[in-house]
A and B are shown apart, each in its own frame.
Chain A
Amino acid sequence: MSEPILSFEDVRVSFATESGTVDAVKGVSFDVKPGEVVAVVGESGSGKSVTSSTSMGLSAENATVTGTVILDGKDVTRMPAGELRKLRGNDISMVFQEPMTALNPVLKVSDQMAEVFEIHGRAYGKDAVAKSIELLEQVGIPNAAERIYEYPHQFSGGQRQRIVIAMAIANNPKMIIADEPTTALDVTVQAEILDLLRTLKDETKAGILLITHNMGVVADMADRVVVMFQGVVVEHGPAEEILLDPQHPYTKRLLEAMPRLRDTSLTVNEPSPVVAAEEVAPGDYVLEGRDLALAYKHRGRSKRVVEGVNFGVRPGEILGLVGESGSGKSTVAKAVLGLLEVDHGELLIRGKNLPKLPRREKKALRREIGVVFQDPAASLDPRFPIGEIITEPMVIHKVGTPKERIARAEELLEAVKLPRDVVNRFPHELSGGQRQRVSIARALALSPSILIADEPTSALDVSVQARVLDMFSELQEQYEFACLFVTHDLAVVDQLADQIMVMEKGRVVEQGRKEQILTSPREDYTKRLLAAAPVPDPYKQRARREARRQLLTAQGIALD
């Protein structure tokens, strides 16, 4: 094959931090050839993003870089700042993770797009804007000629990512670095952005360095894969080999850890048999919502975000509540937790309508509900030692003596497989996964009969997530709580849930038994959702991609 366009040779990066020097990348070498997609895969602390940013000369201020990075025959690490700037945005460009913040909020999109051409002297003024409009059309922004004069906040997340991509390809770069380009996006949007990247790759012949933690994305895009762990490359090779026949134990673990979605039939017109809803006596539900409508109040005006939601969770059962951002799934969880008033309908816990209960009974009923939230950084009070965090529910409900509480805390820590002496530690000493385990321990402190889990693993790394999920099912068997599990990830639901409820834009699209929803979904939206989730097998993924294309065509949704 041809000469590599970008190569890393023994790159090392260390950071000076408050607690001393940290080696983030410890001698990494690999290369990318023109027209090739190389995926760098790894979890937090693997150094994958740090490595890639050296090729742009955009390392953090407290970073020390050694080794060489060669871009198109030129050594980037030893280049004066001025020359480096000529490369950036011209020969090499970047797509970032967070589209919501990657664009300057006070400048019109036209200004920001035209700048790319003007900096490198490709076009100026009106010409640059005209070229930008062309680009925006190319990346699938409808009505580009008008919308280009709007500000970034007037675009949706997916559209902003398209704009960032348009800027990245503007000057036909030889190399594009995509740093977790789809991580912040919903699955369906992710699939669209990946489609776009694939089309562009074929059109531009640029090499793409794709940084990701998602093996599904790797299977969907990559020609070759580099697996990194703790600053070292543990394995690299062609995508098929790595994904289907991994050699290194870490890669194996990583693939194992990835929650998998069962195979689904996504045919469109085949009428699936309508299964009569199982008749359940109302008293059987431990948690039930009847015709729920929820609203956010802002400056005296209230805006309905959830409407007409009916659901029920039986004892010891897990209901997976699935949806994309803005679907209202977390809002439902909030309402059950009493963080939001119920606008209309009934919310029954053990047959009692929670919002209508007198204060004292309400509080007593709260004992029955445990909660685990999404963000491990914010779900534990940083000023409390772990012991106090876990015993907080007991303190609130005046259960036990201080001694008994601590004993219970230690017991629970063991249940979540953390050492007992963690009771005296503080949240900042724990990693994200450990904090989520503490969260679970706190939720179980009063042995509740209902657990509300709001995206408890979506902020975690794949292998950490796997561990937390395993633990979660174990604990569920042990404590037999009913659970409302809110998530955006269908694969997680597949692993955990008994029942599934799919939500979109504040309404329930489809609900029923897991097997039925995942294997033979009835609604178009559910099908699209299932089709969009990538699987870590290049061959299967290719087939799924084709299936998705057919599905969308059949549903009459235009493709780019």
Chain B
Amino acid sequence: MSENNSSDLEQQMTDLAEVEDAKLQNKGRSLSQNQLVLRRFFSHKPAVLSLIILVFCAVMAFSSLGYGPIPGWWDKTHTATGPVIDGGRPTMFQNGQILGEHPFGQTQMGQDYFAQVMYGMQQSLIIAFVVGIVSTIVGVVIGALAGFYRGWIETILMRLTDVVIVVPLLVIAAVAGQMVGGRVWLLALVLGLITWTGLARLVRAEILTLREKEYVAASIAMGSSAWRIILRHMVPNSIGVIIVNTTFSIAAAILLESSLSYIGFGVRPPELSLGFLINYYESASSTRPWLFWFPGIFIVLIALTVNFIGDGLRDAYDPRQKRVGDRRPGLLRSLGLRNRRAEERVAGAGNAYGTPGTATHPVSASEPKGNTMRFWRKK
């Protein structure tokens, strides 16, 4: 047989294995999973735009006022009062100036509102990111342990998840917020320590699927330690779930913090956050609407951009849900005023919804039908 093989190689290609091997020879540069993910992420326009906006907001918040001992470029502070000019109206884009003296206007007491909003944004961002990081670390560790070892860790995790069903997160957070009494970093830490259950559940589910993967079985059979399997195989392969959900948890954290501050159990004076500003100036919303609008818009902006980044990351990690093939449809097609392709419609696939075969896995993206799966036996 083996003689046959070598002589066949000389002939024309009439063997699937040869075709595949030839394809492998002709392949260009190799891309790792991370590189593929990055490439897909950067082709997701809303996510990239969101990333730019978010970075811009963060840079503005921290550079304008500075942080700690580092000074910023904005000459006013969030506490200093001053004379109220023009009823405290915003000067942004007024009279031909871009920012002006008080771009976001002034409070009743003549404080510069730009400085207050920027300061609030700093605190809100700090809380959001610390919550995101803390809850991710705790969630990943507990989720991974629960998924790998099952047993009592898993039971505890599931019961803790049930707590969230029975007592709303906001309620637990409010009680916790009341306990820490408005200290920003402590509040962030405590919120992180109560919001990890969701991620832990997802990581656990992911680890449970990964346990069934043959490369994990192979690694166990080779004699690797549990640590090696968790750290080298399982966590890296659930990184998509982890990163995406960290992003979403950051967006959720910023909303949770502002809600808490609004009902009075979050950030408290002398510190302030965006949610606190809304609460504080709520009564002014009809007389000085800008005091109410600016912090709200920034909360929405941060949460929205973070959510979009999360969506882009999800598409990048799991392109199954995303459309493959030609580019996003143009305006006329989205409006349904132009059909995709005439011949396709008559072929009976006119309705985009759920026509079979649209599932594309990262593995088979270059093959039209995910060929390797075709001859699977059972399971």
Contacts and interface: CB of A to CB of B under 8 A. Distances in A.
A366 B30 contact: no
A44 B2 contact: no
Contacts of B20: 431, 433-434, 464
Interface string A87-102: 0000000000100000
Interface stretch (B116-124, B125-133, B259-267, B339-347): B339-347
Contacts of A183: 375, 377
Nearest to B327: A16
Given A18-B319, A383-B237, A230 B360 contact: no
A57 B343 CA distance: 11
Contacts of B223: 362-363, 366-367, 396-397
Interface stretch (B97-105, B167-175, B296-304, B363-371): B363-371
A236 interface: no
Contact of A49 (B11, B218, B369): B369
19 contacts: A19-B365, A58-B348, A59-B355, A62-B358, A65-B343, A97-B374, A184-B377, A229-B16, A373-B218, A381-B219, A381-B233, A382-B363, A426-B30, A426-B31, A431-B372, A459-B376, A461-B375, A464-B16, A470-B5
Contact of A424 (B30, B343, B344): B30
A382 B223 CA distance: 20
Nearest to B20: A431
A488 B377 contact: yes
Contacts of B32: 383, 385, 426
Contacts of B4: 256
B16 A45 contact: yes
Given A61-B355, A425-B30, A339 B221 contact: yes
A63 B357 contact: yes
Nearest to A54: B347
A461 B363 contact: no
Contacts of B350: 81
Given A62-B358, A337-B217, A434-B21, A24 B236 contact: no
B169 to A, nearest CB: 30
Interface in A426-448: 426-434, 439, 442
Interface of B: 1-2, 4-5, 8, 11-12, 14-17, 19-21, 23-25, 27, 30-33, 213-215, 217-224, 228, 233, 236-237, 319, 324-326, 341, 343-352, 355-358, 360, 362-363, 365-369, 371-378
A390 B367 CA distance: 25
B25 A18 contact: no
Nearest to A371: B221
Interface stretch (A72-80, A142-150, A283-291, A552-560): A72-80
A407 to B, nearest CB: 20
Contacts of B16: 43-45, 229, 433, 461, 463-464
Contacts of B221: 337-339, 366, 369, 371, 452
A393 interface: yes
Interface string A369-396: 1010111111111110100010011001
A283 to B, nearest CB: 24
Nearest to A363: B223
A232 to B, nearest CB: 12
A45 B376 contact: no
A378 B325 contact: no
A256 B369 CA distance: 26
Interface in A30-67: 43-45, 49-50, 54, 56-66
A339 B377 contact: no
A102 to B, nearest CB: 11
Given A339-B220, A371-B217, A452-B221, 13 more contacts: A45-B367, A45-B368, A50-B368, A56-B348, A57-B347, A61-B358, A213-B374, A381-B215, A396-B222, A424-B30, A431-B372, A459-B377, A467-B15
A17 B368 contact: yes
Interface residues of A, number: 101
A200 interface: no
B212 to A, nearest CB: 8
Given A383-B237, A396-B228, A458 B373 contact: no
A441 B208 CA distance: 27
A460 interface: yes
B280 to A, nearest CB: 48
Given A64-B341, A380-B215, A488-B377, A392 B372 contact: no
Given A184-B377, A375-B214, A44 B347 contact: no
Given A59-B347, A77-B343, A434-B21, A22 B368 contact: yes
A249 B12 contact: yes
Nearest to B340: A61
Nearest to A446: B222
Contacts of A540: none
Nearest to A458: B377
B208 to A, nearest CB: 14
Given A15-B368, A77-B343, A383-B32, A253 B222 contact: no
B24 A434 contact: yes
A199 interface: no
Nearest to A454: B214
B360 A17 contact: yes
Given A44-B16, A374-B214, A382 B33 contact: yes
Given A60-B356, A429-B24, A393 B222 contact: yes
B356 A379 contact: no
A81 B222 CA distance: 55
A419 B25 contact: yes
Nearest to B378: A325
Nearest to A62: B325
Interface string A400-429: 000000000000000000110010111111
A463 to B, nearest CB: 5
A84 interface: yes
Contact of B349 (A57, A325, A337, A397): A57
A118 interface: no
A94 B101 CA distance: 74
Contact of B325 (A16, A77, A397): A16
A213 B14 contact: no
Task: Identify the interface centre among B17, B23, B352, B355: most chain A CB within 10 Å of its CB.
Answer: B17
Contacts of B374: 44, 49, 97, 180, 213
Contact of A366 (B222, B344, B360): B222
A264 to B, nearest CB: 22
Contacts of A60: 349, 355-358
Contact of A61 (B217, B236, B349, B365): B349
A494 interface: no
A392 B357 contact: no
A497 B274 CA distance: 73
4 nearest A-B residue pairs (beta carbon): A60-B357, A57-B348, A16-B325, A44-B371
A77 B346 contact: yes
Nearest to A24: B368
A155 interface: no
A97 B375 CA distance: 9
A311 interface: no
A3 interface: no
Contacts of A546: none
A241 B367 CA distance: 32
Contacts of A382: 33, 237, 362-363
Given A44-B16, A60-B355, A377 B368 contact: no
Contacts of B33: 382-383, 426, 428
A61 B355 CA distance: 6
B324 A77 contact: no
Contacts of A56: 348
A537 interface: no
A19 B31 CA distance: 14
A18 B346 contact: no
